[in-house]
Amino acid sequence: MAEIGEGGGANGHHGETIDIKDETFSSHHQTSVFTLPFLQKLIAEVLGTYFMVFAGCGVVVVDVEKENKIGQTGISIVWGLVVMVMIYSVGHISGAHFNPAVTIAFASCKRFPLKNVPAYVFAQILGSILASVTLRLVFNWKHNSSLGATIPSGSDVQSLVLEFIITFYLMFVIAGVATDNRAIGELAGLAIGSTILLNAIFAGPITGASMNPARTLGPAIVSSQYKGLWVYMLGPTAGAIAGAWAYKRHKVHY
- What's the CA dihedral at 162, 164, 169, 172 to 10 degrees? 180
pLDDT-derived band at 31, boundaries 50, 70, 90:
very low
pLDDT-derived band at 154, boundaries 50, 70, 90:
confident
pLDDT-derived band at 2, boundaries 50, 70, 90:
low
Q: What is the per-residue pLDDT for 187?
A: 85
Q: What is the per-residue pLDDT for 178?
A: 81
Total domains in the chain come to 1
Q: What is the mean pLDDT of residues 154-178?
A: 95
Q: pLDDT digits over 169-214, tens only?
A: 999 999 999 877 776 677 889 999 999 999 999 999 999 999 999 9
Q: pLDDT digits over 74-94, tens only?
A: 999 999 999 999 999 999 999
| Residue 200: closest CA among 53, 75, 65 | 75
DSSP secondary structure of 22-57: -TTSSHHHHHHHTTS-HHHHHHHHHHHHHHHHHHHH
| Residue 98: closest CA among 229, 199, 220, 192 | 192
Distances (CA, A) of 217 to 75, 104, 122, 170: 19, 16, 11, 19
Structural domain boundaries enclosing 61:
4-252
Residue 35 has pLDDT above 90, yes or no: no
**Cα–Cα distance, 73 to 71 (Å, whole number):** 6
Q: What is the per-residue pLDDT for 249?
A: 85
Residue 36 has pLDDT above 90, yes or no: no
| Residue 148: closest CA among 219, 98, 209, 214 | 219
Say what the pTM is: 0.83
Q: What is the per-residue pLDDT for 28?
A: 38
Q: What is the mean pLDDT of residues 154-176?
A: 96
Q: What is the per-residue pLDDT for 139?
A: 87
**Cα–Cα distance, 10 to 42 (Å, whole number):** 28
pLDDT-derived band at 234, boundaries 50, 70, 90:
very high
Residue 71 C-alpha from the chain's centroid? 22
| Residue 182: closest CA among 31, 8, 14, 21 | 21
CATH of residue 125's domain is 1.20.1080.10
Q: What is the identity of the amino acid at 250?
A: H
